[in-house]
Structure formats: structure tokens, C-alpha cells
Amino acid sequence: MSEASVLQVESLTKTFPSGGRTLTVIDDVSFSVDEGDTCSIVGPSGSGKTTLLGLCAGLDQPTTGRVELCGVGLRPLDEDQRAEVRNQNVGFVFQTFRLLPTLTAVENVMVPAELRGDADPHDRAADLLAKTGLGDRLGHYPSQLSGGERQRVAMARAFINRPRVLFADEPTGNLDAETAGRIEDLLFDLNETTGTTLVLVSHDQELAARTERILHLRGGEIVEDEQNPSPAESAVA
């Protein structure tokens, strides 16, 4: 792994048993992502995008191959050890928000910091929510927030631990076009401010065009590794 790389994937394969046969979802994938880069993984439904993201983040283990995340090889680690690597280095934004319904917005944002042992992350969580435009929603529960507001809470939560890498899985997939545009702007603004490495999965080519690099996945294989020298400033007109 080069000094600049925060994610290195080597000969990664993931198979599943299916009806007496072996289904190959990820097929001999290799790539690396450098510190501070923005990279998207695109492809049709069923191409293996979410599976690949999960393997990169250590949420699942490959059948063969290896992943090195922030200088740590994930293959030898057990589930608890991989969780520790993620909590120290990684933020997540999911399509389905994944907020805890019994916690307020600010409490949801605080969860990763509390799990890491931070004594009082309230002020940092409140500041992040203010940056997302939710400074007046700290005490609201997820059921009291719109879909766009819930995704902004999820985004603040993703940045609370100042992650080196942010993994985003279809971060605007559940939002209307106008709300999606605002969320995309917020994601890239926060990412640029913090210098976090961004790896996102999307079927949206316009969203992918905002990243510096686009990996095209088809049938579990990378069929094109596209360098994007002029990322689009906005995916929404």
C-alpha cells in the first residue's frame, strides 16, 4: 500500500452459494484510493456495487483477496476488530438513513463519538447539525423530520468522528430531485472542508460526475477506471 493510499483492494472476489451453484458477485477486483480523493462506483442494478462497498468498509469478508483500510489489513481481523477500525477511521451515509427512532437528531449524531469514548460530543454534534441547516432541529426525533432532514442528520453523524474515509451508498436514492441536489451539495461541501476521502456508490451518472474518479462495475468486474479531471460543480441544474 502506498503512503498516499487510504484504501487498497487486491484481487477481491466474493461468491455466494445459489441453488447448488456458486454465484460470483465480485470478480477479481483491484484498485486503490488515495488520501483526500473522491471516487464513485457506478453500474447497473445487480452489478455488485453495494457488495463491493461493504467489502471495502469491512462490513463483510471477501471469499478471496484482501482489503487494506487506513493502513490496516482487514482479512485477519474478527468482527469486533473490524468494527474498531471503522469507528476510528470511517463514516457512513446510507440510502435508508438508519437513524435510531428513540433518539433526537443531536443524540443520533453523537452516537459514533460516544461509542469511541468521547466524553461530551454534544457541542460538536450541534455544530455539525448547524452546518447542515438543522441548528433549530436538535431536539426533534426522526419521525418529526422530512426525508431530506433525516439524511442531513445522517450526514452530520457520518462526520462526527472526523473520518479519514466516508463511504456513501446511494446517499440520495430515497429523495426527490430537488432535495437530492441540496444533499449532494452538502456532502461535497462537508467533504471538501474536512479533507475526507469519499467513496460513493450510485446509479446516478450526474452524481458520479462530481467525483474525481469513476469506477464502472459490470457483472462484478471493473470494466472502466475513468479519471475525471474536471468534476462537475453541480449535479443539478
For 191, the grid coordinates are 467533504
Phi-psi region of 138 (alpha: psi -120 to 50; beta: other; left: phi over 0): alpha
CA 152 to chain centre: 14
**Spatial distance between the Cα atoms of 162 and 139, rounded to a whole number of angstroms:** 23
pLDDT at residue number 120: 87
119-174 pLDDT, tens digit each: 889 999 999 999 999 999 999 999 999 999 999 999 999 999 999 999 999 988 88
User: Are the C-beta atoms of 71 and 88 separated by less than 8 Å?
Assistant: no
| Strand, coil or helix: 13 | strand
**Spatial distance between the Cα atoms of 220 and 201, rounded to a whole number of angstroms:** 14
pTM given for the model:
0.89
Domains and CATH numbers, the chain: 5-100+163-226 (3.40.50.300)
Q: Percentage of the chain with pLDDT > 90?
A: 72
**Spatial distance between the Cα atoms of 2 and 8, rounded to a whole number of angstroms:** 9
61-120 pLDDT, tens digit each: 999 999 999 999 999 999 999 999 998 999 999 888 899 999 999 999 999 999 888 888
Residue 49 DSSP symbol: H
